[in-house]
Structure 1
Amino acid sequence: MGSTWRKLKMALSSNLCIYVPTADSDASPLQSERCSDAALLSPATEHWSFSGSTTAQRPWSPALRLSKSLSRSSKKCTICLASMRRGEGQAIFTAECSHSFHFQCIASNVKHGNQICPICRANWKQVPLQTSSGLDSPSARTQDNPVMTVIRPFPSRLNSTRRIAAHNFPANEPNMFNDDELLDLEPSKKNISNASDESSLKRVVLETYTEVPAVPRFTTVNDFTVLLHLKAPVCTSARAPVDLVTVLDISGSMAGTKLALLKRAMGFVIQNLGPSDRLSVVVFSSNARRLFPLTRMSDAGKQHALQAVNALAANGGTNIAEGLRKGGKVMEDRRGKNAVASIILLSDGQDTYTVNGGVGSNVAGGQTQSNHKLLVPPGVKIPVHAFGFGADHDAESMHTIAEVSGGTFSFIETESVIQDAFAQCIGGLLSVVVKGLQVIIESVNVNVRLQSLKAGSYKNQLMPDRKSGCIDVGDLYADEERDFLVSVNIPKETELTFGYETSLLKVNCYYNDPLTKETIKLVTENVTVKRPENVGKENVISIEVDRQRNRLQSAEAMVLARTIAEEGDLKRAISTLENFRKVLMGTVSAKSGDRLCMALDAELKEMQERMATRNMYENSGRAYILSGLSSHSWQRATARGDSTDGSSLVQAYQTPLMVEMLTRSQANLDVRTRSSQPRPR
């Protein structure tokens, strides 16, 4: 015992503490790997701190004193957000700034070059490290005898600014990001077989509706509306694997709770990806770094990804363009390509390096649309789902990034919604059942011309002769729906060739099955309208057509109100929305109690309230409107405000798998909340 105490005093005098579990330890390999039975010393406080239930059985344990404040504490580790209470099998490290963390979490943080406190940003002189038996080889690191140390590094000759820059993004990345992990082909073959067996379910449903069933025979109509309604196949047991790149803001403003919740949200994403899915994480502050290449989310891949994310620390500026450029390069350079690919971008601040001309720029005036497009790397055709976080983010830039790339823009108003917002997004990405959907509309009557296509943000085109047009819809999630309005003219009919009907359009659909790579074609029957000499009271307006017209007109009212608000006239912007609400509630579908119309009215009212003052508009109104416009223009669910499922409008675009993933996320949060609460004594 005396010899052990002398060694302990020597460690204290040199600010070095090492504990190696003995060979007869009863800890399991997993417990040993996580160092659950270690005791750590913070040289600055001279308190031993640990949280292992079996440590008291060690021969040397009587010589150690627990920090009373730590042993009684129910606080959580800022990095993993799990509790740090005694008896839970996790070693605790207390830094000289008095903040405590799980040793495994903070050692991984330091391993990636971070030597500052994730909470208070204090520079540490004592740095926690973790090795295995003092060896650095990969084989040694798998030993069951981990060494946990707290060491004082040699003083650096670099000034603090250079240390931060070097810590942030060392120039050790390859020129080409073609080091992605190979695709998992065996499950793909099995999925293709399953998809073939379920081919009857793998068909898009296409339906058409006319504005009214009949038009008088001798009447001419110049603007007659036809609704095209598409619904994706239901979800089956097989799905297409995903290549996902997350581009995450770790600038100084993300420090503290924001970064901790982002790590938790990323942990949820990682855990819900499958072994055939691949993930790469890019982080940015003053510039950008790829944490790891596209890696299959096997058990080992998930563990590696979680460690890399948990090691993140926040500091520096906000260079969104460089983060996106690097994320786009990961996708562009990859050797293999999974059927589905997407980029998730999250930022809580303004881009300080590109949009306004860079740091120290004297460029005056507001940001323009062309400047915002500088944030999107040229040639990158991967949809970017952008998440603007908090009151200080650049909603206009984030919305433009999403629109240009074909993704959605979500407004995360409160920190607690980050995980749910990510969950809803990946609930869609993990259920893509249609790729490259294209709708072709053709006139089948020599006297009928297409007047317009109303397709929101989807790329569409009318041929010069207005006899045909097309809409590029792209990918659809399982059970997802799309509605497009086509305007045509109705000619006067003196002699009807086909009884009492006028043929208007023929609609074809082409798309690819992402699993089988099969190209599927759907052909509808001709769209016709009845032509009696007179129409009666039964010739009522279609609720389906009226509902979608209301959706599009609501979006137009939002655009107009936002334009007026940006000009500084909030009172007139509010009046614009109020006037349209009156028009909306007078429509046929609204009077019938249609859910979408009721949700649109509630959304417009919320926008009015967020325009009450200039400060409210700047902090949340602009972002709320832009997120709503993104949702309507793509007909896809986005997170909005402080909730992802609180409004019926959001629910109108949610798919069953989005709802399922949201439920899973909220259950996960409930478990974490319960586990962090003090246990009854």
Structure 2
Amino acid sequence: MWDVGKVKAKDAVQLLEAEGGTNILKGLTEAAKVLDGRRHKNAVVSVILLSDGQDTYNLDLGGYGYSSYQTNYRGLVPSSLLSGAGHRSTPIHTFGFGVDHDSSAMHTIAEETGGTFSFIEDEKVVQDSFAQCIGGLLSVVVQEALITVKCVDPVRVRAVKSGRYNTSIDAYGRSASVDVGELYADEERRFLLLVDVPRAGDADDVTQLVKVTCTYRDTATGQVLDVAGENVAVQRPVELAKDQQPSMDVAREKFRVEATEDIAAARAAAERGEYTEAARILERRREALLPALADDARCKALVEELRELSTRVASRREYEKSGRACILTGYSSHAQQRAASAFVAGAEGYGCPQPGGAAPGAAPSILGFGAAGAYATPAMQRMVGASRQIREQQQQPATSKRKSGSNGGAY
């Protein structure tokens, strides 16, 4: 945005007046109008939505003023921002602020459009949360990425564990594809491919499994590129070596996929009011970690995430206060393999110490999802670091004034 545009945008924000109520659909409709009316259309387009309340204009919230698990939140998204004939959806990255926001609505809006959902409990770190998101958006290097897998006959695809990403398997299981979409610089995606392999014959030492290709659009040049991966084969020895070990990469990814599925199952249980069962689901997954992965940094971080979430779904009070928002943030992150954070008070997640004894007004702990920041790219980290530095500099004059006043000095 040019400097003149920045000034106009700031002036427009200053003219806004709060009149009560929350109308998410109207806000997103205005965003869609802005995008449709652009004179210069850049390749990367996203919407950022921050809300601190329940939509009071477009949803039937019932007698208690809260939406239900089955509410149709898709209706809050204008059709032009959803995927349709000939165009992809516009990612809406949502941020639920405070304890009164509708985390189910915000998560659904993000999920329907390919965005992420993050929870912010304290206004002090709104800027940091935005910075992480913007750091990614400013570093989009790949668009319309499509991974295709073709089996070598008679191998067949049984399933693809791809999380939120749309997967297509042909009727006979001979090929499959995953629509990845956009990738930020330094991001990676891991998917579990389950295949049926025929019994090896007496003379079969190696079985060819699949061929993998990827098609994507280069954001900088606009060119569509094709990349061929290495053909995948499996050795078929008559006897396994005694020291043969399973792939740790596969075991780690399997644990992450199963944990993501259990996070969804725990949410469903909590929404039914079965809070003890929700906590038990997450605890069982923690205990299921293989001994061989006990020292793996990513798995240890994920175990701590599950422990933190289990405490936040264990009772109705905790779930309504922050558990629902935290569990949806965690699911959003792992289902997309993209960084998302819950800025909450008292989080004891991996790398997020308990702020017990912290001074009044101190920033809340950050419950980072994605294996202790495994999904956070260097661009995201740099942007968050710059945001924190600015925030700390802004707080220093106020701190100096308070110290001066306590010693009898003038403000």
TM-score, with normalisation over the residues of structure 1? 0.53
Q: Aligned residue for 2:213?
A: 508
Offset of residue 561 of structure 1: 1.3
Unaligned 5+ runs, structure 2: 82-88, 345-364
Indicate conservation of the 8 Å contact 1:557/1:576, yes or no.
yes
Offset of residue 363 of structure 1: 10
Which of 541, 545, 565 lines up with 2:246 in the alignment? 541
Q: Aligned residue for 1:475?
A: 182
Q: In the superposition, relative to structure 1, how do residues 455 and 607 fare at CA in structure 2: closer, same or farther (>3 Å)?
A: same
Q: How does 1:30-179 map to 2 (within 5 A)?
A: none
Query: Is structure 2 residue 328 aligned with structure 1 residue 623?
Result: no
Counterpart-to-counterpart distance in 2, 1:414 and 1:364: 23
Indicate conservation of the 8 Å contact 1:638/1:644, yes or no.
no
Q: Aligned residue for 2:348?
A: none
Q: In the superposition, relative to structure 1, how do residues 311 and 674 fare at CA in structure 2: closer, same or farther (>3 Å)?
A: farther
Offset of residue 575 of structure 1: 1.6
Which of 346, 349, 354 lines up with 2:53 in the alignment? 349
Which of 72, 79, 83 lines up with 1:378 in the alignment? 79
Q: Aligned residue for 2:199?
A: 492
Q: In the superposition, relative to structure 1, how do residues 646 and 467 fare at CA in structure 2: closer, same or farther (>3 Å)?
A: closer
Offset of residue 364 of structure 1: 9.7
Indicate conservation of the 8 Å contact 2:156/2:195, yes or no.
yes
Query: Is structure 2 residue 275 aligned with structure 1 residue 553?
Result: no
1:498-524 residue CA offsets vs partner (Å, 9 max, x unmatched): x62100000000111111111111111
1:629-679 residue CA offsets vs partner (Å, 9 max, x unmatched): 000011000121335576773411100010000000000001101133345
Q: 1:651 aligns to what SS in structure 2?
A: coil
Q: How does 1:191-590 map to 2 (within 5 A)?
A: 297-356=1-60, 366-369=67-70, 371-380=72-81, 381-444=89-152, 446-494=153-201, 496=203, 500-584=205-289, 586-588=290-292, 590=293
Query: Is structure 2 residue 300 aligned with structure 1 residue 598?
Result: yes
Between the two proteins, the alignment pairs up a number of residues equal to 376
Indicate conservation of the 8 Å contact 1:420/1:644, yes or no.
no
Q: In the superposition, relative to structure 1, how do residues 395 and 442 fare at CA in structure 2: closer, same or farther (>3 Å)?
A: same
Indicate conservation of the 8 Å contact 1:356/1:363, yes or no.
no
Indicate conservation of the 8 Å contact 1:460/1:469, yes or no.
yes
What percentage of residue pairs aligned between the two structures are identical? 44
Indicate conservation of the 8 Å contact 1:356/1:367, yes or no.
no
Indicate conservation of the 8 Å contact 1:595/1:648, yes or no.
no
Counterpart-to-counterpart distance in 1, 2:161 and 2:318: 32
Counterpart-to-counterpart distance in 1, 2:266 and 2:73: 21
Indicate conservation of the 8 Å contact 2:47/2:92, yes or no.
yes
CA RMSD, aligned part only? 2.0
**Letter matched to residue 300 of structure 2:** M
Q: In the superposition, relative to structure 1, how do residues 338 and 307 fare at CA in structure 2: closer, same or farther (>3 Å)?
A: same
Counterpart-to-counterpart distance in 2, 1:480 and 1:493: 37
Counterpart-to-counterpart distance in 2, 1:624 and 1:500: 49
Query: Is structure 2 residue 373 aligned with structure 1 residue 651?
Result: yes
Q: 1:541 aligns to what SS in structure 2?
A: coil
1:549-603 residue CA offsets vs partner (Å, 9 max, x unmatched): 111101111111111111112112212211221112x353x23x11111111111
Offset of residue 366 of structure 1: 4.9
Counterpart-to-counterpart distance in 1, 2:248 and 2:118: 29
Counterpart-to-counterpart distance in 2, 1:523 and 1:611: 44
Q: In the superposition, relative to structure 1, how do residues 587 and 487 fare at CA in structure 2: closer, same or farther (>3 Å)?
A: farther
Q: 1:451 aligns to what SS in structure 2?
A: strand
Counterpart-to-counterpart distance in 2, 1:419 and 1:427: 12
Offset of residue 623 of structure 1: 0.5
Counterpart-to-counterpart distance in 1, 2:231 and 2:170: 20
Q: In the superposition, relative to structure 1, how do residues 645 and 310 fare at CA in structure 2: closer, same or farther (>3 Å)?
A: farther
1:35-65 residue CA offsets vs partner (Å, 9 max, x unmatched): xxxxxxxxxxxxxxxxxxxxxxxxxxxxxxx
Counterpart-to-counterpart distance in 2, 1:648 and 1:571: 25
Offset of residue 379 of structure 1: 3.4
**Letter matched to residue 393 of structure 2:** V
Counterpart-to-counterpart distance in 2, 1:346 and 1:646: 19
Counterpart-to-counterpart distance in 2, 1:364 and 1:390: 16
Counterpart-to-counterpart distance in 2, 1:438 and 1:542: 26
Offset of residue 539 of structure 1: 2.4
Indicate conservation of the 8 Å contact 1:436/1:512, yes or no.
yes
Offset of residue 362 of structure 1: 7.0
Offset of residue 441 of structure 1: 0.4
Q: In the superposition, relative to structure 1, how do residues 621 and 362 fare at CA in structure 2: closer, same or farther (>3 Å)?
A: closer
Q: In the superposition, relative to structure 1, how do residues 648 and 457 fare at CA in structure 2: closer, same or farther (>3 Å)?
A: closer
Offset of residue 334 of structure 1: 3.0
1:447-495 residue CA offsets vs partner (Å, 9 max, x unmatched): 1000001110011110111100110101100101110110001211215
Counterpart-to-counterpart distance in 2, 1:548 and 1:628: 16
Counterpart-to-counterpart distance in 1, 2:136 and 2:73: 27
Indicate conservation of the 8 Å contact 1:509/1:522, yes or no.
yes
**Letter matched to residue 122 of structure 2:** T
For the pair shown, the structure with the greater C-alpha radius of gyration is 1
1:182-241 residue CA offsets vs partner (Å, 9 max, x unmatched): xxxxxxxxxxxxxxxxxxxxxxxxxxxxxxxxxxxxxxxxxxxxxxxxxxxxxxxxxxxx
Q: Aligned residue for 1:614?
A: 316
Counterpart-to-counterpart distance in 2, 1:625 and 1:311: 36
Indicate conservation of the 8 Å contact 2:69/2:104, yes or no.
no
